[in-house]
Structure formats: C-alpha cells, structure tokens
Structure 1
Amino acid sequence: MATPDLRDADRRTPEQPLPPAGPTEAKAPSAGLHRESWVAAAKAVAGIVGLFVLWELLVRIIDPPDYLFVGPLSAFAELTERPGYFAENTFVTLQEALAGFALGTALGVLCGATLHYSSTARSFLYPALIAIDTIPKVALAPLFIVWFGFGFESKAFVAMAIAFFPLVINTFDGLSSVPHELQELARINRASAWKKMVKIDFVYAIPSIFSGAKISISLAVGGAVVGEFIAGSKGLGYVILLANSQVDLPSMFAAFIVLAAIALALFFVVDYAGRKLAPWKNHAK
C-alpha cells in the first residue's frame, strides 16, 4: 500500500477555499487606533475639567480675597467680557512662539545632525552647547533685545533659544541609535552617504526628533512670554504684566488659561504630525 504524502494534508481542495480577508479585518487595526485616540482625548478632557472643578471648589471653600486668588469662573468671565482683547494678544504670542519653534527646529535638527556626522564638530561644539544651555534664558532675553530691538524679532529669537536645545539632543540621540543591521544593509547595497542619511538615519530618528519637538513647542510658548516680559507692548506676557501692575487677578488667570490652551493644542498638533510621519511606532505599541 502506498504511503500517503503528508504534504497533501496542508493542501486545500477547490471546495475548501481560503476565506477572503474582508474589509472589516483589513480595517481592524486602524479602527482600534482611532478608537484609542478618542478614548485618550476623552480622558484628557475629563482630567482638565476635573482640575477646573477642583480649583473652583477650593476657591469657594477657602474664599480668599480677589486680590490674592480667583477661581476659573472669574477667569472665564474675563475672557467672555473682553474676547477681542485676549484674541489679539493671543495671536501675537502665537506668532512669536511658532516663529521661534520653526527656527529652533531647523537649527536644532541641523546642529544635532552635525554633531552626529562630524566627530570634530562633536568634540568642540557639544561642551559649548551644554555650557550655553545652562545659562538662564531670561538672562539672554535682554541681549536679543539689544541685537534685534523691541519688536517681533527679539521675542521670536528668545523662543528659538529656549526651543533649540531639546531638538539638538533628541536629533543626535535618534541618529546615534540607528541599529547596526540597518547600517550594514546600507553598506552591502552600496548606498551613498546621502541616501543612507535620508532613507535610513533620519527615517529611524523621526520618533526621537518629534519627542524633542513636543518638548520644544511648549518651551517656545514660554520663551515668547519671557521676551514679552522683558520688552513687550502686546502679547499675553504683556497682558500678565499689565494685570499684575493693576492687581487684576481675573485677567492674569485668564491669560494663564489661554497660554496653557495654546501650549496644549500645539503639543497635540506636533504629536499628531509625529504619528503620521512615523506610523510604525504606533503599531509597535
């Protein structure tokens, strides 16, 4: 009697076709990620609302004088009473922060790449960058005002100086962490230095670069406010200074809330861009 071929056991007859992958199966991972994003957003909103509720309850229980502390309802009332005033100054601060962030991102990525690809530059520049970063940026703000005047440029450069360093470090770390296997693959395929940098190094470093960008965008908002503190005639930093001189805490806390909202919104925009440019990082979770 002939011995049966074991390979026949894995063969399917025409009556038993492989089940086709339906649209539901193909869309399951993206649908899951979409649902997780909405759940995370709902939790974030619930946390912020809970913080405001707790803040208002503490103010009502302690009942401090208005010149010492106010609740979020007073701050929101101030926002609704003067929406144009806050919108105009918010737009000024937002412009300064975005300009500083753009400059800091471009220079930070360029400097981080230079440190990675040039050992000579790394030996000379890295200690100098660390030394500069230890200087409080508030101390550098008057210098930028001397160089660029009292206008938009000085605030943007203060924001750039604060947003710059996290991108240098994260770009350098991301490029330095490319696996040896990928570098060997590029060598075996005789890839040029440019192709290796564009198609392997920077692609692998995208998540690390965007991690630095998420830190830098919040710092850029703070840098713009610091510049307005030193020499500002408009912007949310100027609103805070003016409210402080008039002991107007509702306006001051309203500016704080708007600043927090700007920084949070920009953080999520950068985070979303990072997820789109590095989708493989999401699937690895």
Structure 2
Amino acid sequence: MTTTPRIEADAVQHVEAGPPPVSPPKPPKQSLIKSESVSAGIKAVVGLAALFALWELVVVIFDFPKYLLVGPISAFEELFTNPGYFAVNALTTLQEGLAGFALGTALGVLCGALLYYASFLRPFLYPALIAIDTIPKVALAPLFIVWFGFGFESKAFVAMAIAFFPLVINTFDGLNSVPNELQDLARINRASKLKKMMKIDFIYALPSIFTGAKISISLAVGGAVVGEFIAGSKGLGYVILLANAQVDLPSMFAAFIVLAAIALLLFFIIDLVSKKLLPWKNYTK
C-alpha cells in the first residue's frame, strides 16, 4: 500500500516533465551543398568588394595620375558606358577559352591515362611533356597562327596548350593514387581491365581531375587572351592592346575586370559541378 502513492507521484512528475527531447534531423546533403554554395558566394562578394575598396583608397590617397593608375570607379564607369563593346569582345574570348579548355581537357585526360596505363612509355613521354610545358606559350602562339591562320582556331589552340598540362598531371596522380586494396579487390573478382578502369580507377581519380580542371579553366581564358595579343582583331586581348596604344587606362582596367569575372564564374561552375557529381568527396563527415 505504501508504494502506490510513490508510483503515482513519479507518473505525475513524468507527465509534467513532458516527453524526452528529440534531436533535430540532420539536413540533407542537397541543402548542405546549397547552403555552402551560398555562403561561399557571399564571402567571395565581400572579398571582392574589400579588394575594390582598397584599390580605390590607394588611388585616392596617393593621387596617381590617370595615365599611371585609375581606380575601380573609373573602370566601372567605362564598363557601364560601353556595355555592348565589352560584351561582344568578352563573348569572343569566352568562346575561344571554352574551346581551348575542352580540347585541353580531352587531350590532358587522355595523356594522363596513357602515362599511367602504358608504363613502358612513361620514361619517354613524361620528360617530353615537361619539356614542352616549359616553352613559353607566347612563343608558341605565332606557330599556331602559321598553322591555323588568324581566326578563331589559332586562339583556341593557344588556350588548349596552356590548359593541357595541369590535367595531364592531375589525371596521372589521381589514377596513381588508387589504393592497393581496391586493385586487389578487382583482381580477386576477375574484373576486366575496362571495367576496372571505368568503375574503380577513374571514379577514384575524378576529384584530382576536377582539381586540374579548376586550374585549367582560368589558364584557358588567359591563353585565349595571349592569342589575341599576337593576332587578334576582337576579344578582350585586343581591347587591352588597343587601350594600351591609346593610354586609355579605364578601358584597360575594365577589360581586366571582365576577364577576372569570366574566370571566377567558370571556376565556380566547375566547382559546383564537382560537388554535384562527387558528393562523397565533399560530405564524408
């Protein structure tokens, strides 16, 4: 009889306390990707705004003459005064850079795979690739112009030559870093060379390949500008050359800003694609 009131009191206390707290569910991976992308975008905008503010402050404090240095306000004024002029030339450079990047990616991944799978060619091919990469691409540009003319193709091949090497190295390193356990597993299961290459080697190498692509995309845009420096009648490289001849620094720095914007946009697109295609690489925790 003495235990009944105690049991009732414990029950009343349990009801008053309410149910035990439930931990909130973890957000899905897609929302994590979106939130991280938004956060990275905000930080990038803040960083660029701080850089422009510092640049303008330096120009105002030291009072540089306009033929030596102008601030971002003058550059943006020139950009908004002639938006069509910069848009048309930016589109030309973008097309040349993307074509060079596509060619460089295809050839770079192919050569990186050849270095890995054809080990007997590695002692001959690897030093040759390094020797070719040490040649300044400005020196190669006239050769491409002789081969492909003054049009779109020569600029695209200059962009390809610059974007090519990072993808070779990153593809080879990615394939070379496949763990021995996975190699043994494929051997035990008697997987064919093609199946092992597609389902183990390249899947494991994809993060390294995307890292090389993020490096190469900016180099490809710069390579297109190099080609336009040598023989261009349009494009942002031509805009920079023309502005330099006319000592028009606002136009020159406006072209620099557009080039930087193109490179940043392409970099973030490839970064976003890599996060979509490689969720295990970014959200393993």
TM-score, normalised relative to structure 1: 0.90
Does 2:245 match 1:245?
yes
In structure 2, give the amino acid aligned to 1:97. Answer: G
Alignment-derived partner of residue 122 in structure 1: 122
Alignment-derived partner of residue 50 in structure 1: 50
Post-superposition offset of 1:140 = 0.5
Post-superposition offset of 1:25 = 2.1
4+ runs of 1 displaced by more than 6 Å? none
- CA contact 2:115–2:125 (8 Å) conserved in 1: yes
Q: Percent identity?
A: 75
- Report Cα offsets for 1:82-108 as digits up to 9, x if no partner: 011000000000000000000000000
Alignment-derived partner of residue 5 in structure 1: none
Alignment-derived partner of residue 267 in structure 1: 267
Alignment-derived partner of residue 179 in structure 1: 179
The aligned runs of 1:187-266 (5 Å cut-off) are 187-266=187-266
In structure 2, give the amino acid aligned to 1:210. Answer: F
In structure 2, give the amino acid aligned to 1:240. Answer: I
Post-superposition offset of 1:31 = 3.1
Post-superposition offset of 1:281 = 0.7
- Provide the rounded CA distance (Å) in 2 between the counterparts of 1:25 and 1:154: 55
Q: Which runs of 5+ in 2 are unaligned?
A: 1-19
- Report Cα offsets for 1:98-121 as digits up to 9, x if no partner: 000000000000000000000122
In structure 1, give the amino acid aligned to 2:229. Answer: F
Alignment-derived partner of residue 41 in structure 1: 41
Higher Cα Rg: structure 1 or 2?
Answer: 2
Distance 1:225 1:87, change over 3 A: same
- Provide the rounded CA distance (Å) in 2 between the counterparts of 1:199 and 1:28: 26
Alignment-derived partner of residue 90 in structure 1: 90
In structure 2, give the amino acid aligned to 1:115. Answer: L
- CA contact 2:33–2:275 (8 Å) conserved in 1: no
In structure 1, give the amino acid aligned to 2:101. Answer: F
- CA contact 2:78–2:254 (8 Å) conserved in 1: yes
Alignment-derived partner of residue 136 in structure 2: 136
- Provide the rounded CA distance (Å) in 1 between the counterparts of 2:168 and 2:249: 38
**CA root-mean-square deviation:** 1.6
- CA contact 2:217–2:266 (8 Å) conserved in 1: yes
- Report Cα offsets for 1:110-136 as digits up to 9, x if no partner: 000000000122121111000101111
Post-superposition offset of 1:71 = 0.4
Post-superposition offset of 1:153 = 0.2
In structure 1, give the amino acid aligned to 2:278. Answer: A
- CA contact 2:55–2:72 (8 Å) conserved in 1: yes
Alignment-derived partner of residue 276 in structure 1: 276
Q: Which runs of 5+ in 1 are unaligned?
A: 1-18
In structure 2, give the amino acid aligned to 1:244. Answer: N
In structure 2, give the amino acid aligned to 1:186. Answer: A
- Provide the rounded CA distance (Å) in 1 between the counterparts of 2:106 and 2:31: 34
- Report Cα offsets for 1:223-274 as digits up to 9, x if no partner: 0000000000000000000000000000000000000000000001111111
In structure 2, give the amino acid aligned to 1:34. Answer: K
How many positions carry a matched residue from both structures? 265
In structure 1, give the amino acid aligned to 2:25. Answer: E
Alignment-derived partner of residue 14 in structure 1: none
SS across alignment from 2:50: helix
- Provide the rounded CA distance (Å) in 2 between the counterparts of 1:224 and 1:195: 37
Post-superposition offset of 1:37 = 2.5
Alignment-derived partner of residue 99 in structure 1: 99
- CA contact 1:206–1:277 (8 Å) conserved in 2: no
Alignment-derived partner of residue 152 in structure 2: 152
- Provide the rounded CA distance (Å) in 1 between the counterparts of 2:227 and 2:153: 10
- Report Cα offsets for 1:181-213 as digits up to 9, x if no partner: 111111111111000000000000000000000
